[in-house]
Amino acid sequence: MKKWHSLLLVIFTLFLVYFTILPMQVFAETASVKNTLADEEAITLFTKEIAVDPQKAEGYFNRGLAYAHKQDYDHAGRDFDKALSINPRYEEAYVQRGIVYFLQRQHDKAIIDFDKAIAINPKNYVAYALRGTAYAYKNAYDKAISDFDQAISINPVFAEAYANRGLAYYYKQDYSKAIEDCNKSIAINPLFGKAYSVQGRVFTERNEFAQAIENFDKAISLDPTIANNYYYQGTVYEKTDCPQKAVSLYHTFLNSHPQDDKLIAAAKDRIKTLEDLTPPSN
């Protein structure tokens, strides 16, 4: 059972890292569990545990995690509901149900659950950061920044919170603060790709294209699975009159299982436009 509880921090961290996309990869890191315990086996195990003691909240909570891992969010949510009906002060269950609501794009419900987790434990810096992420998705950037501020005040070495606050500043077009936060994130964790990605977007807006490309290269080298970085780097090459490189990056983006519908449509449109404008090579 401890193995499943130990997954919580991993899940929290993944959720925080990429709020520029619909984070369907939130539970991907937990795939290592499949080396010893497949999803269905886990669900069967926890179902048996529930049958032995149906009033034990942890059984429902653990099964909810297993369902969440296999992206069965409806069943996961119901199990977290049951865990909370047994133990209304189950802090981790509120956080996990909030994540499920977020993944289902029910951001208001997610925020309510993060509120409840924070009410139980005002020092839960992860819950503040998660709530900040949900506010960011609602374009409530001032509220998001306030929550990231709180998370950082509790945990001053929370690299993910600095990067995500930097992204919120980016959306507010406060580029100096965005760069400052990303630099702080990198100083804490130089291997955290999100910070380089945010800086790349800032440099793009500033028309500092060489620095933008350098930062996107770094972000991609650290985690080549993050599809959006290919799209954003493609826009830089397009701005620097490198249409073939841009098209290549847009194709890489589309082949990397992106989740952002707007970027998917934009990439397809840019490919068509650029291919129509680019004369065929002899």
Give the domain CATH number at 139.
1.25.40.10
Number of structural domains the chain divides into: 1
What the block records as the tokens of 230 is 């290919």
DSSP 8-state secondary structure symbol assigned to residue 242: -
- Kindly report, residue by residue over 184-237, the tens digit of the pLDDT: 999 999 999 999 999 999 999 999 999 999 999 999 999 999 999 999 999 999
pLDDT band at 277 (very low <50, low <70, confident <90, very high): confident
Angstrom distance (rounded) from CA 189 to CA 172: 24
Residue 181 domain-assigned (yes or no):
no
Q: What is the mean pLDDT of residues 6-13?
A: 38
pLDDT band at 12 (very low <50, low <70, confident <90, very high): very low
Residue 234 domain-assigned (yes or no):
no
Residue from 10, 130, 3 nearest 62 by CA: 3
Residue 92 domain-assigned (yes or no):
yes
Residue 44 domain-assigned (yes or no):
yes
The better pLDDT of the pair 30, 237 is held by 237
Q: What is the mean pLDDT of residues 125-135?
A: 96
- Kindly report, residue by residue over 73-120, the tens digit of the pLDDT: 999 999 999 999 999 999 999 999 999 999 999 999 999 999 999 999
**Cβ atoms of 71 and 78 closer than 8 Å:** no
What's the pLDDT at 25? Answer: 33
Residue 223 domain-assigned (yes or no):
no
What residues contact residue 92 under an 8 Å CB cut-off, 6+ apart? Answer: 5, 8, 61, 117
- Kindly report, residue by residue over 234-260, the tens digit of the pLDDT: 999 999 999 999 999 999 999 999 989
Residue 145 domain-assigned (yes or no):
yes
What Å distances lie between residue 201 and 219, 239, 271, CA to CA? Answer: 11, 13, 20
What Å distances lie between residue 124 and 62, 81, 94, 160, 228, CA to CA? Answer: 20, 21, 12, 15, 29
**Cβ atoms of 132 and 101 closer than 8 Å:** no
Residue 137 domain-assigned (yes or no):
yes
| pTM for the model | 0.83
Q: By residue range, what is the domain housing residue 36? A: 1-155
